[in-house]
A = this chain, B = another copy of it.
Amino acid sequence: MTATRQQIVEAADDLFYRQGFEHTSFADIAGVVNISRGNFYHHFKTKDDILDAVIKTRLGRTQQMLVDWEEEGATPKDRIKSYIKILLTNWTMIKDYGCPVGTLCTELAKLNHASRDEASKVFTLFRVWLRNQFSLLGHTGDADALAMQVLSWSQGVATLGNAFNDRKYAKQEVDNMCDWLDSLPVSTT
């Protein structure tokens, strides 16, 4: 992986999030990286190839973040709260551009894009990780359902917080989610 190639992926990663995949042109990316448009094709055959590279880095970055949370959080509930709180940590971006995972998935769904399933794997990373945390809390039977509940709750807050540009609401919902989590029964077998 050359430095230029990496710069392209980083710029595309950011622009695909803020502007959307289709709305982002080679000229946009070239403007950030300071290369000519023709130079892209030495590194990537098509725009779709750039998208695949972006999704790959997002998968890797997410995986690393989950590992970090695993090390930082003393208890499973602490770790799950690390996830919940990204709504506020990344609020300045979310209020303008929504959730990076959800918005890419819905865009690719409408485009009926070949990488649609690949993009949803970021959700799967969170889902499996959350499921593990709930399993550690003793929720062996409903761990996956709880994981999906946390995922969808935060996703909904991201979408509506974005639509209404309402940080207070987002803050309130984060508190509600944490309270809900704290009140969950824990079996320490």
Contact = CB atoms under 8 A, between A and B. Distances in A.
Interface residues on A, range: 35 or more
Question: What's the number of copies of this chain in the assembled complex?
Answer: 2
Contact of A156 (B96, B159, B163): B159
**DSSP class of A's interface residues: helix, strand, loop or mixed?**
helix
Interface string A143-185: 0010011011111110110111000010011001000000000
A18 interface: yes
A103 B110 contact: yes
Nearest to A124: B164
Contact of A23 (B98, B110, B120): B110
A138 interface: no
12 contacts: A98-B110, A102-B159, A102-B163, A103-B106, A105-B163, A106-B159, A123-B160, A123-B164, A152-B157, A152-B159, A152-B173, A155-B160
